[in-house]
């Protein structure tokens, strides 16, 4: 059985590729390397197609003979989408339509689409349930919602099996700390290790359902296989939430630092609180997170320290401490 991963040289896609190759599957990757890196997939026995999901000829070539497409390729940043809505739409919305169309024509069995918790926006109540109305706050969130709608349309109108997974704040090894649009965990780690100012937009009380990447990989694989998942949209997360101040406290402990954040204005497009219900994913694809937030954070810090040449000595308590502490409960605010 052959799998194609669009965006397979990126953070999540490369973990998925590593997993699938490890299970002796035939894997192809289509990536334009806009944010993906060759080093993420170095040594992996995959077919590598350097190309763009906006190019339909390139897609036709990539999907030929493929059973399942894991569609991860996207411009992933909320901030970037606010600065440049058109490119985000072109890659994430139109690009997803082109992927689906190429799959339909080629007779691909299933497409698993990487959607995002951002589609909920600032929904009042927590946890976020799939049946809540979407309320996107950024062009990125709109582009992901359009992708979901196209996925459902291709299932209903053409019988192409599609599953959309709404990822909640994925983190783990290989997440790029250097990008202008870096996610919060790599950004905080970089600031702590380099002794740079650590900025927080807002007051740090905003919460996120941080999800270790291995959970997302397993969710993708289950979504590809489960008969009940076709045509569905579901949350993929841990079902708990941690504030940015919680995160910083935990990282301060792991890096043996004592850094306070510099508080900046709230940013356009950012949501205040995010926490998923994962009941539907459990029911439809048997999903349950295997790695919790704190264990995942320990692994991520361990990777971060081993993958860089330290600019100064850092002390870490990462490996000894794998216990989980209690996250905020659903509905509680801080
Ligand atoms: P990433 O930037 O590391 O990976 C995206 C990959 O897509 C990169 O390898 C990039 O080079 C490739 N790509 C971008 N535009 C392309 C194009 N036009 N043609 C071909 N390849 C292209 O990001 P990631 O964090 O691994 O995200 C993977 C997917 O998960 C994305 O669809 C993202 O929107 C979604 N997602 C991520 C998170 C998260 O917390 N990381 C949360 C919700 C959803």
pLDDT tens by residue, 176-204: 998 878 999 999 999 999 999 999 999 99
Provide the percentage of residues in the chain whose pLDDT is more than 90.
Answer: 87
Query: Separation of 317 CA from ligand 1 center, angstroms?
Result: 31
pLDDT tier, 268 (very low <50, low <70, confident <90, very high otherwise)? confident
Q: Quote the pLDDT of residue 220.
A: 98
pLDDT above 70 covers a percentage of the chain that reads 92
6 C-alpha to center of ligand 1: Å?
9
Whether residue 322 has pLDDT greater than 70: no
> Tokens 């990487």 label which residue?
114
CA distances for 105 relative to 86, 156, 219, 243, 266, angstroms: 27, 15, 26, 45, 45
Q: Which helix or strand (DSSP H or E) is residue 252 part of? A: helix 244-255
Q: What is the pLDDT of residue 309?
A: 55
Q: Report the nearest-CA residue for atom 6 of ligand 1.
A: 7
In DSSP notation, 146-157 reads HHHHHHHHHHHH
Residues with CB under 6 A from ligand 1: 6-7, 9-13, 30-36, 52-54, 72-76, 91, 95, 114, 116, 167, 169-170, 183
Write down the pLDDT at residue 327. Answer: 52
**Marked catalytic residue, from 120, 140, 154, 167:** 140
- Residue with CA at minimum distance from ligand 1 atom 39: 170
Strand 161-167 versus strand 110-116 pairing type = parallel
CB 48 within 8 A of CB 19: no
Q: How far from chain centre, in Å, is Cα 245? A: 21
**For 237, which DSSP code?**
S
DSSP string, 258-314: -PPPEEEPPPTT--SB--B--HHHHHHH----SS-HHHHHHHHHHHHHHHS--SS--
Which residue's CA is the nearest one to ligand 1's atom 12?
7
Ligand 1 atom with least separation from CA of 140? 34
Q: What's the predicted TM-score (pTM) here?
A: 0.93
Supply 299's token pair: 């692994």
Strand pairing partners for 165? 114, 234
- 122-137: per-residue pLDDT in tens? 877 899 999 999 999 9
| Angle, CA 186 vertex, CA 84 and CA 207 arms, to 5° | 80
Atom from ligand 1 closest to the CA of residue 13: 26
Average pLDDT over residues 59-83: 96
User: Can you tell me the mean pLDDT for 206-222?
Assistant: 98
In sequence order, what are the residues at sequence separation of 6 or more whose Cβ sits closer than 8 angstroms to the Cβ of residue 293? 210, 212, 238, 240, 242, 324, 327
How far, in Å, are 54, 222, 283 from residue 227 at the CA level? 30, 10, 12
What is the CA 109 to chain-centroid distance, rounded? 23
In the DSSP assignment, the letter for residue 241 is: B
Residue 118's pLDDT band, with cuts at 50, 70 and 90, is very high
Predicted pLDDT at 67: 98
Q: What letter would DSSP give residue 116? A: E
Closest residue by CA, ligand 1 atom 13: 73
Q: Is 19 one of the annotated active-site residues of the chain?
A: no
Which protein residue has the closest C-alpha to ligand 1 atom 35? 114
122, 271 Cβ separation under 8 angstroms: yes
Q: Which two tokens stand for residue 263?
A: 């508080």
DSSP string for 17-70: HHHHHHTT-EEEEEE--SS--GGGGTT---EEEE--TT-HHHHHHHHTT-SEEE
Cβ distance 289 to 240 under 8 Å? no
Residue-averaged pLDDT of the chain: 92
How far apart are the C-alpha atoms of 302 and 168, rounded to whole Å?
A: 22
Q: How many A from CA of 256 to the centre of ligand 1?
A: 32
Q: pLDDT class for 33, splitting at 50, 70, 90?
A: very high
- How far is Cα 97 from Cα 154, in angstroms, rounded to an integer? 9
The pLDDT of residue 330 is above 80: no
72 Cα–ligand 1 center, Å: 5
Atom number in ligand 1 closest to CA 179: 2
Spacing, Cα 51 to ligand 1 middle (Å): 14
Q: What are phi and psi of 319, to 5 degrees?
A: -70, -25
Give the contacts of 314 (CB within 8 A, at least 6 positions apart).
193, 255, 256, 305
Lowest mean pLDDT among 87-96, 149-158, 237-246, 322-331: 322-331
Instruction: Report which of 55, 172, 154 is spatially closest to residue 113, judged by C-alpha positions.
Output: 154
Look at 146-155, 273-282, 313-322 and tell me which has the smallest mean pLDDT: 313-322
Q: How far apart are CA 175 and CA 93, in angstroms?
A: 23
CA of 232 to the centre of ligand 1 (A): 21
- Dig out the tokens for 28 from the structure: 């192809």
């Amino acid at each position: 059985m052959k799998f194609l991963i669009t965006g397979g040289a990126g953070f999540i896609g490369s973990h998925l590729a590593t997993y699938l190759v490890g299970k002796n599957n035939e894997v192809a990757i289509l990536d334009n390397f806009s944010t993906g890196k060759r080093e993420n997939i170095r040594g992996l026995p995959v077919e590598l197609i350097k190309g763009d999901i906006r190019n339909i000829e390139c897609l036709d070539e990539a999907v030929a003979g493929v059973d399942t497409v894991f569609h991860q390729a996207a411009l992933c940043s909320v901030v970037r989408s606010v600065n440049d809505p058109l490119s985000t739409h072109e890659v994430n919305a139109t690009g997803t339509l082109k992927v689906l169309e190429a799959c339909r024509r080629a007779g691909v069995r299933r497409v698993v689409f990487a959607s995002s918790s951002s589609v909920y926006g600032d929904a009042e109540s927590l946890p976020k349930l799939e049946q809540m109305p979407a309320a996107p706050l950024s062009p990125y969130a709109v582009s992901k919602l359009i992708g979901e709608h196209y996925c459902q349309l291709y299932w209903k109108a053409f019988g192409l099996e599609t599953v959309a997974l709404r990822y909640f704040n994925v983190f783990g090894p290989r997440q790029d700390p250097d990008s202008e649009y870096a996610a919060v965990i790599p950004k905080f780690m970089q600031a702590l290790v380099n002794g740079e100012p650590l900025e927080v937009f807002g007051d740090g009380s905003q919460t996120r359902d941080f999800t270790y990447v291995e959970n997302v990989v397993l969710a993708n694989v289950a979504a590809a296989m489960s008969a009940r998942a076709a045509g569905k949209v579901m949350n993929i997360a841990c079902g708990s939430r941690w504030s940015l101040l919680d995160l910083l406290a935990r990282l301060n402990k792991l890096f043996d630092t004592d850094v306070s954040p510099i508080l900046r204005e709230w940013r356009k497009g950012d949501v205040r609180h995010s926490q998923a219900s994962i009941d539907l994913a459990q029911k439809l694809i048997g999903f349950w997170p295997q790695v919790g937030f704190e264990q995942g954070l320990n692994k991520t810090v361990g990777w971060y320290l081993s993958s860089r040449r330290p600019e100064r000595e850092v002390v870490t308590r990462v490996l000894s401490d794998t216990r989980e502490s209690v996250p905020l409960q659903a509905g509680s605010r801080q």
